[in-house]
Chain A
Amino acid sequence: MDVILIAWRNLWRNKRRTLITATSVFFAIWFALIMRAFQLGSYDLMVNNIVHSYSGYFQVHARGYWDHKLLDNGFIYNVKLKNALDSSAGTYGYALRLESFALASYGLQTRGVMVDGIDPVAENRLTSLKKKLVNGRYLDPFDSGALVSHRLATHLKIHIDDTLVIIGQGYHGYSAAGVFPVRGIVNFPSPNLDGRLVLISLSAARNLFSADSMLTSIAFNVKDPDSYNKAAIQLRDRLDPGNYEVLTWDEMMPDVVQQIRADSVSGLIMLGILYMIVGFGIFGTMLMMLNERSREFGMMVAIGVQKSKLTLIMLAEILFLGLLGIVAGVVAAIPPIYYFYIHPITLTGKMADSMIHMGFEPLMPAAWRVSYFIAQSSVVLAIICIVMLLPVLKIRKLEVINALQH
């Protein structure tokens, strides 16, 4: 009790210094939390766009399909495969797809597009496709119409009930041509997808590409997003590796992972610099506290205070000082982070253009994770603990006579 009482009162012996030091910790943790929240929020958005808009957490393809995305590298969806998929653990539904590239035309406009034959019900479970509908209606399971992505529709100047012409190459070189009334317009967060996607029912796609019973990919959702790797590995073990490949979203899109890592490292360097400055700030304050109280320490040891107790008092002071800044910083960071988590910043102008150009939604949400608040606070606490070594060493080496003469 004495330790806590003395430490707390010592902290307020020099109010201004305590407040300045605590404020430096406060700003460091506040800036770190805000900065990192936006950074992690952007990554989450990227991954979310990829996983929940299209790829799923992992996909099954015929071996080699991902390197050469050709219809000829598709696979037959048979009962044996279905049974294997249905019994895979950790998954939360899957969506069958037959995808290929083709030319889409309306009026005088033509554009290269990705035609995606989907099971509308399963696809909606995986990617909430129905929610992305901005105009028209959703596809029926055996629909003969198409959903056109918003940017593509704008480019083609096509509207609901207009007829979209698709020309391409089908399975084994068959020519693929078809007309599809536009049932709806869907808006994808990823500009890359939004500019080139035409969705038709799986049966219509099989007809178009002359690829009866065939699929090019099966996309999976998982129960626990943090353990998608485990679910993918389990499924990989169930399937014949000579015929099938199971790829997670990050294996399919290593460039995105690389981009996130590179950006994250730059953010961590910034945080490191910020924390180093704070560390030196606390170190300086502590050095002053130790030097100006040498005589007091000498007196305390002389009258019978063990050095270990004196060390505890100093450690408690530094800890209070750090906690004061950390708690205030975290409390002050929570409202803006939560606000921007609910209401992401919409980027405009060149910044938005550059995001769209890179294939991402021009939004800047903040991440909202308790673990991340704990992690940042722990880092600052760890720095404080390192700085605490100074009083430990200094008090250990304290010579009472020298200290009393200080």
Chain B
Amino acid sequence: MNIISIEELRKSYHDSEVAVHALNGINLIIEKGEFTAIVGSSGSGKTTLLNMIGGLDSPDSGCIRIGDVDITSMKSHKLIDFRLRNIGFVFQSFNLIPVLTAFENVEFIMNLQGVKKEERRKRSTELLDAVGLGKRLHSRPSKLSGGQQQRVAVARALASHPRFILADEPTANLDSVSARNLLEIMDKLNQDEQITYIFSTHDQRVVNKAHRVIVLEDGMVVRDE
């Protein structure tokens, strides 16, 4: 079942009058339950592609469909709402709202979705348990390690029952133990609950875990295996 279909996606940036083609006609289909890693050297276009899929940036041309919805033609506020209900994000750093506890960060997303209080509380606790932070529910991000913060971010990303999770170099700022833990949790969730992940990464450990690896070069897919 196709979750994401991308057709002829193009994006250029103008840097001092020189056009940089960040994405140069990308065609991709991502299916439910895939654990996909997008790799490539710096400037290959992987972050731009991830931003486009997440509806954070708009393409010059081409089309991105999430399910049946073409997100490239959506208005800003509708796109924000679409992201809230369909996409989970795990960023490289500064993932969490610093003034909210781990529990509140996870609950916050469901609150935005209008989920009832009881259900919010139950799911927040379950998710934080699932990522191994059942005992740190009421810790603020500043009291958590980088790895723990990323695990809270994963729990938060899952809170909204998204169609897929976008993770932009989630292990880049983590030590090897934390990175391994995070990947194991994400892998487990992928296997147990068919969560779809799309990673942009340089990390070989992520690549090793991935079921599918897409290699980008100069804004084009040069390998998809």
Contacts and interface: CB of A to CB of B under 8 A. Distances in A.
A307 B80 contact: yes
B18 to A, nearest CB: 19
Interface in B36-95: 51, 54, 56-57, 76-77, 80-81, 83-85, 89, 91, 94-95
B45 to A, nearest CB: 14
B97 A300 contact: yes
Contact of B111 (A2, A295, A299, A401): A2
A304 B80 contact: yes
Contacts of A304: 80-81, 83-85, 109, 112-113, 160
Contacts of A9: 99-100
Contacts of B151: none
A401 B56 contact: yes
Interface in A270-323: 295-296, 299-309
B56 A400 contact: yes
Contact of A306 (B81, B108, B113): B81
B108 to A, nearest CB: 7
Contacts of B97: 6, 296, 299-300
Interface string B103-114: 000001101110
Contacts of B112: 2, 304-305, 309
Given A302-B56, A302-B89, A306-B81, A2 B94 contact: no
B94 A307 contact: no
Contacts, number: 59
A307 B77 contact: yes
A82 interface: no
A1 to B, nearest CB: 8
Given A299-B91, A303-B89, A305-B80, A13 B99 contact: yes
Contacts of A121: none
Interface residues of A, number: 21
Contacts of B85: 304
A404 B85 CA distance: 20
B57 A302 contact: no
A356 to B, nearest CB: 60
A302 B100 CA distance: 17
Contacts of A299: 89, 91, 94-95, 97
Contacts of A307: 76-77, 80
A308 B84 CA distance: 15
Contacts of B98: 13, 296
Contact of A404 (B91, B99, B100): B91
B163 interface: no
B156 interface: yes
B28 to A, nearest CB: 20
Contacts of A306: 77, 80-81
Contacts of B57: 400-401
Contacts of B100: 6, 9
A303 B81 contact: no
Contacts of B76: 307
A404 B99 CA distance: 18
B11 to A, nearest CB: 11
A134 B49 CA distance: 94
Contacts of B91: 299, 302, 404
Interface in A4-30: 6, 9-10, 13
A299 B157 CA distance: 12
Contacts of A6: 97, 99-100
A10 B109 CA distance: 18
A13 B141 CA distance: 13
Contacts of B84: 303-305
A399 to B, nearest CB: 9
Closest 8 A-B residue pairs measured CB to CB?
A: A304-B84, A9-B99, A400-B56, A401-B57, A304-B83, A303-B89, A306-B80, A295-B94
8 contacts: A6-B97, A299-B91, A302-B91, A303-B156, A304-B84, A305-B80, A400-B56, A404-B91
Interface of A: 2, 6, 9-10, 13, 295-296, 299-309, 400-401, 404
